[in-house]
Structure 1
Amino acid sequence: MHRSRLCNLVIDCQGTDLAAATTFWSRALGKPVENPDEDGDGRYASLETAPDELKILIQCVDHPSRVHLDIETDDLDAEAARLEALGAKRIGFVKRWWVMEAPTGHRFCIVRRQTEDFGPHTNRWD
């Protein structure tokens, strides 16, 4: 048995100006900047959201700009296998998460648990 849930809305911004992208999205969404440099590498920032909202991440990327979702789980490989059984495919392992592609062509990520408690919207899978 493992658990998973939708946890992040990730705004992929082509380019390297994380500060400018973060400022724009912070102002556009009315969300203060929580952390202007999540990993200290100038590629990831987060906006402040309420506990019952998705976390919003800003990410500098090399590919064209888009938005993707993150699914958090307490078992990365079990969740990847579950989603593969539904028709998704693994694209690659990056740092500490799986990049996946849905049968619809949409990219998304499976990430490790992001919070101490999964909360009320957790799925349990056998």
Structure 2
Amino acid sequence: MTSKIRHVTIDCADAYALASFWSQVLGEPVHEDDHPGDPEALIEAAGLLFVTVPDPKTVKNRVHVDLQPQDHTRDEEINRLLALGATLIDDRRREDGTGWAVLADPEGNEFCVERGVVERGR
């Protein structure tokens, strides 16, 4: 017997607003049944479920996602995400092109941006 991960659930202050941010990051829609003010919002294609909770984030995430740009560079993706409202937390990019950057979404949840597919092929 086995189990399958159905969703990764992210607690947040505003489920729809945070799901909307991640929808733009991933290029995947928020579920059509979800609307502003709903206590839950789902990005089904990515398996991300956002749930509104009363308590604020207080410590570093124990689980985070690593993003890999598919059709552009890591640095271009970082700039795009900053323009969407992310914050740069820790820059671990190296002069030789390796490394990553740690960003946070609008509610402070950390995630990493690695080198893109094109960069890894070089």
Same structural fold, with TM-score higher than 0.5 when normalized by the shorter chain: no
More helix by share: 2
Normalised TM-score (structure 1): 0.37
TM-score, length basis structure 2 = 0.38
- Higher strand content, 1 or 2: 1
Report which structure shows greater RCO (CA 8 Å, sep ≥6).
1
